[in-house]
């Protein structure tokens, strides 16, 4: 008999049935009921049952994000219909619910569900509160955020976001995260790490990436053509200046990304999906307005395979710079954020609070910054006035962006990078660096 490790409590509601609807879900440790993740989202006009299924799906997804495949979980809801249908005791008669049930069943097959338990509404208050918070926020034109707060609705699409999260996810937020257009608050790490995944979570921001992109130019980098740079300049500067452009490409998905595990100097290959992401980036970068002069990669396989896909279409060789490798996460390599939180709570707290703190037997973000800055200086000196594609990882790319913006080290915790995303920095010999694009994944859509 499976030992239950996690509890999911989920709920959904509609103010009108159908009417404005939303869901809430909470994931807890089965041993002590410690809250590990929360999710909530307003879903527009829908019925109670649709919202309840959406809450279930969000809860199951959160468990996968936290613990990965095969995690043992008990599901508790006050919806008799959803519980009985998912347990196989009731037939699904409403065809409108069937696609949601199929989606939930697909998640169940990736977990070990030890029980489907109906509970009275008064015992499901946490999930019910989250659902109502999401609906209340939507009624004010706001988006739900972890902790019961709200923020202005962002114009960009949903998706994982991370400011810190687990390594390959793209972001980490101390105890906060966000998932999709709704919110997922989880004690999961993230984007400072190369946790290839997930498109993520965010350490301290909710769905941060899309809350800040109004300050960034997300259009295709026009400065990737040196001829265009000679005539356009950077906006305020003289039009005669020629920039050295660093196009920053994060590698594609790996098995550790998919499982949201810390991935530093470990050397996993790309998954089939990661290869497809690399090929999509290659197609984009081999067509106008891009004209690459140089491709430089981290020595790690996930970055090199991504770089080789681009270089193959561009007719270039791949140069390797060891200083563009990901952070060494030491003893945390291959672990999930939750595992680290339980085994190294004090060390994790220090790491999340101080860029000079390092994981056990690992490397601090301050140490990473020194070698990344040295790599940047070499590239700018060697390839002045040219367009260089740098294929690397979350921490080195965030570091290059932070340095270009003259932002403090703590800014790493406020950025999110998706897998296979593009960013662009133009460097001028007689002026400042200019960030022209950030976390652009339009080639993956």
Catalytic residue among 9, 201, 251, 393: 251
β pairing state of 244-250 and 387-392: parallel
Neighbouring C-alpha atoms within 13 Å toward the C-beta of 420: 28
Measured at the CA of 39, the angle between CA 36 and CA 40, to 5 degrees, comes to: 155
Query: Counting beta carbons within 10 angstroms of the beta carbon of residue 91, is it exposed (0 to 12), middle (13 to 18) or buried (19 or more)?
Result: exposed
Distance between CA 393 and CA 267 in Å, rounded? 12
For residue 320, the SS3 value is: strand
Direct distance between the N- and C-terminal alpha carbons of the chain, in angstroms, rounded to an integer: 43
Query: Facing residues of 434 across strands?
Result: 426
Helix (H) / strand (E) element for 104: namely helix 98-108
Active site residue 416: no
Distance between CA 265 and CA 328 in Å, rounded? 5
CA distances from 107 to 131, 214, 241 (A): 21, 34, 54
Number of residues assigned to the chain = 445
Distance between CA 56 and CA 23 in Å, rounded? 9
Active site residue 251: yes
Q: What are the phi and psi torsion angles at 34 (to 5°)?
A: -65, 135
Distance between CA 145 and CA 183 in Å, rounded? 6
Distance between CA 319 and CA 276 in Å, rounded? 22
Catalytic residue among 259, 326, 333, 347: 326
Active site residues: 251, 326
């Amino acid at each position: 008999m499976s030992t239950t490790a996690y509890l999911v409590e989920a709920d959904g509601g509609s103010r009108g049935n159908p009417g404005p609807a939303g869901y809430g879900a909470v994931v807890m440790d089965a041993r002590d009921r410690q809250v590990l993740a929360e999710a909530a989202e307003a879903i527009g006009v829908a019925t109670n049952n649709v919202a309840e299924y959406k809450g279930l799906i969000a809860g199951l997804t959160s468990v996968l994000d936290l613990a990965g495949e095969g995690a043992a979980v008990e599901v508790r809801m006050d919806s008799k219909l959803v519980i009985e249908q998912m347990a196989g005791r009731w037939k699904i008669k409403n065809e409108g619910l069937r696609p949601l049930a199929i989606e939930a069943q697909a998640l169940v097959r990736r977990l070990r569900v030890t029980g489907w338990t109906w509970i009275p509404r008064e015992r499901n208050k946490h999930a019910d509160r989250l659902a109502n918070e999401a609906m209340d926020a939507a009624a004010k034109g706001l988006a739900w955020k972890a902790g019961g707060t709200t923020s202005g609705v962002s114009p960009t699409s949903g998706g994982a976001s991370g400011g810190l999260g687990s390594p390959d996810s793209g972001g980490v937020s101390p105890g906060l995260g966000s998932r999709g257009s709704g919110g997922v608050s989880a004690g999961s790490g993230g984007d400072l790490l190369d946790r290839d995944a997930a498109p993520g979570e965010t350490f301290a921001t909710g769905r941060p990436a899309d809350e800040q992109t109004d300050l960034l130019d997300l259009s295709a980098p026009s400065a990737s053509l040196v001829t265009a740079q000679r005539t356009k300049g950077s906006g305020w500067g003289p039009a005669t200046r020629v920039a050295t452009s660093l196009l920053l490409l994060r590698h594609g998905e790996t098995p550790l990304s998919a499982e949201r595990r810390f991935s530093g100097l470990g050397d996993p290959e790309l998954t089939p999906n990661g290869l497809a992401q690399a090929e999509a980036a290659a197609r984009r970068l081999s067509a106008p307005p891009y004209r690459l002069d140089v491709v430089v990669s981290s020595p790690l396989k996930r970055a090199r395979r991504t770089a080789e896909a681009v270089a193959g279409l561009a007719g270039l060789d791949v140069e390797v710079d060891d200083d563009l490798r990901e952070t060494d996460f030491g003893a945390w390599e291959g672990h999930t954020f939750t595992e680290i939180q339980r085994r190294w709570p004090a060390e994790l707290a220090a790491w999340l609070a101080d860029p000079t703190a390092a994981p056990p037997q690992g490397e601090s973000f301050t140490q990473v910054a020194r070698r990344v800055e040295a790599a940047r200086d070499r590239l700018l000196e060697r390839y002045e006035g040219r367009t260089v594609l740098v294929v690397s990882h979350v921490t080195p790319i965030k570091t290059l962006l932070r340095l270009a913006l003259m932002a403090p080290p703590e800014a790493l915790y406020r950025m999110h990078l998706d897998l296979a995303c593009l960013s662009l920095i133009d460097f001028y010999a007689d002026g400042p660096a200019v960030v022209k694009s950030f976390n652009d994944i339009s080639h993956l859509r």
